[in-house]
Chains A and B, each alone.
Chain A
Amino acid sequence: MTFRRRKLAIGGLFVALVSLADSSGAAEVIKEPLKDDFLRSGVMARLLASFDAHADAARKWYVDAFHGRPVARETFDRFGQSLETDRIVSFTYEYNRDGNAMTHVYHGRSGANNPWRALPSSRRAAPYASYFSRVSADTVVWNRERLPAGRDAERKIARQIERDIRDGLVSSGGTLRGFSSAAPCGACESALRTLSDRWGISVRVTHYVEGGSAHRRFQNFRKQYIESIYAALNGTSLNRPYAASSGALPLPTCMRTSQVEVAE
């Protein structure tokens, strides 16, 4: 079979580059808005990966905090809101060490990683970081409850990379490729610029634009994940026995159990 090269038509894409550079060869920071990629790019793939890693931890915390019991829709909506609105980012840091090309991936999320301490009827669960699954040896899912100076996803990642450089886990002078579900805030850009200046790291961030097709699709997909948590734990209108009970129950048959290992 002959595969014909097909030119991608990017309709409605408006690119604005914000670059930081000078004649001395400083690293640069580039910011690129993306309205739609027609599902032909790695941006959505990386953002879904980051969201999946964080939502998976949230799901396990939720099951643990409520003993697998169904909860009122209002309570669930409070749980789902931050998952639905927090900015999701994924950064890939490439650098050289001893002549070898190395890569680290950092998945981040804005806001507090565990914003649900005060949900009604929830119990004290395990430390939030324990609900995260290991993605791979070179992939870091930002999972700490204690926040650095701010709650911005990019700031968390910048601080983490800085920490990793100081700890000798990664080397400075590499390139950082980032994807974000929304435009970075001013403080986020500032944090990335500081990282770039201090450690000679080139930074390039592509972010979805609110109102664009790509952003809307991403929102739809994460809402679907959140709704699957509710449906799996509460049942659906056709599966009410779960919702009708107020006592602790075994997990409904459609709830994923293989990774709910944080029990009592």
Chain B
Amino acid sequence: MRSTMKVVTAAKACVPLLALLAASVADARSQGLIHEEFIRGDHHARWTLLSLKRAGQGGPTTRSPFHSDEVWRSEYLETPDSIYSDLAAPVALAANEYIPRTGNPREGLAYSEGTGLHPTLVWPRSPRVQSDESGSFPIDAGVNRMIAWNLGLYKALPTDMRKVTSQPFGLYHVEPFDDNARFNLFKADIGPDILEKAMALSGAELSTLGAQLALSIATLSRWSDSMDDPERYGIRRATLAHFWSATTLADLTEQDLSYLADILRMELTVAQLGVPPGDINGAIAIPTPLRVARTAAAWHGSRPGYSACHTDGSHDPGQAGLTPERLDRPICFLDATDRAVYRWYRARRATELAASPDDFAHFDQAARLIAHFADVRPVWAGAYADEAADWAVHAEIIEAQLVATQTLGSMASDEAGFLRMTTRANQRICRSREP
């Protein structure tokens, strides 16, 4: 049965997903001052890539423009050693600016490579320019907030927000979960319906893998909703249907679980580029590992008997733990930084995976979930021991992924820059076992 080959060429309309900087920078742009190939809102990527450009223009003895994770933490946290630290002065919060959004900081802000060690911020319509002498951190609080947000230094419910919870959380309902889940789910950008179903399928014994499952489903839902022709892009809607109709894990096929694990691997590998993953009022997404951790925290924080926070969301010193790895004394998820919650998540996950088969109500199904999800790792950690995942939320790794993922226009790093960032991340991971 022979057929003839025909060629159909269709030019797809190019719709600008990537919003460019506002028209207010047109003058500066015409002078070659502004780089605009960025997604609005991703100032961490901008700062990193421009720093990389500065680094590439220096000689071998030039100081590195990059900050270690410890330096970022010292700059942005009031008490860096505390898991309940507030943000420090450079990122001081205004209540209505708590959540970095794609439109923040104000659109007139732009960048120049500058001539010094660090990138230069400019406001084309005003005389304000960050000079090379003004310091090694952005002078704009909004930019600092966005970087701190991306580095997991925010809480679920910050101190400044406790009295203004009507905005922006007021309309965010998470029934059947309570307020402990509410703010964690908001940070995770996971719907309560997805969390409830995923946890019902995974069981309490594997809640941390259930959180991974929830993240994969949320991602698949987002892809599916945003595509006119999902099949064209390899999006399996059947898996979503199976998930929603499942009453036990047995209702998900091997291919469903395998596909969802593939999605998780990808999401752990890439760095989001300032585009919100779903719909949390335009808020910038936090990195995927933190989203997974917040999802698990939402569920555990709503469990009967959980009592580590005051009603206003602050931690109760008489109840709340201070060390996330101590699972016998739970931390207050609302008051803890995203990073602290991630440390708790990693410890909780290790404990769940070390459990005896006798500890599971249905180990045959649990074993399937373990087989598919327990060893999913980001590609950058391909050869590393599992402990490498502990570093996933540190600046060196996040910035390497921002460079690896960012491939837009003239600001894309060259090969040398990319390898420099990858080597820096690898040095961080292989140098020590303790994050």
Contact = CB atoms under 8 A, between A and B. Distances in A.
Interface of A: 1-22, 24, 26, 28-29, 32, 34, 37-46, 48-49, 51-52, 55-56, 59, 92, 101, 103, 105, 135-139, 177, 179, 197, 206, 213, 216-217, 220-225, 227-229, 231-233, 235-239, 252-259
A228 B404 CA distance: 14
Nearest to B192: A1
A11 B233 contact: no
Interface string B194-237: 00000000000000000000000000011101111001111110
A11 to B, nearest CB: 5
Given A21-B6, A26-B1, A139-B258, A41 B235 contact: yes
The main secondary structure of chain A at its interface with chain B is: mixed
A236 B426 contact: yes
B74 interface: no
Contacts, number: 263
A101 B261 CA distance: 21
Nearest to A21: B3
A256 B385 contact: yes
Contact of A227 (B253, B265, B423): B423
A197 B270 contact: no
B234 A179 contact: yes
Q: How large is the interface on B (under 10, 10 to 19, 20 to 34, 35 or more residues)?
A: 35 or more
B379 A254 contact: no
Interface in B230-256: 231-236, 238, 253-255
A101 B400 CA distance: 42
B73 to A, nearest CB: 20
B8 A213 contact: no
Interface stretch (B9-17, B87-95, B136-144): B9-17
Contacts of A28: 3
Contact of A255 (B17, B236, B385): B385
B329 interface: no
B172 interface: yes
Contacts of A15: 9-12
A40 B382 contact: no
Interface in B1-60: 1-12, 14-18
A232 B383 contact: yes
19 contacts: A22-B4, A42-B223, A46-B234, A46-B262, A48-B262, A59-B383, A136-B372, A138-B254, A138-B258, A220-B404, A221-B380, A224-B379, A228-B380, A228-B384, A236-B427, A238-B427, A256-B383, A258-B375, A258-B386
B234 A231 contact: no
Contact of B422 (A32, A38, A227, A239): A227
Nearest to B415: A223
A136 B373 CA distance: 12
A44 B380 CA distance: 15
B426 A253 contact: no
A189 B254 CA distance: 29
The 8 tightest CB contacts between A and B, nearest first, are A42-B234, A41-B233, A9-B17, A9-B15, A231-B426, A225-B382, A8-B226, A220-B404
B423 to A, nearest CB: 7
Contacts of A105: 255, 258
Contact of B262 (A24, A45, A229): A45
B278 interface: yes
B172 A1 contact: yes
B429 A18 contact: no
A127 B278 CA distance: 46
A48 B192 contact: no
Given A3-B279, A5-B226, A220-B418, A48 B269 contact: yes
Contacts of B14: 10-13
Nearest to B278: A3
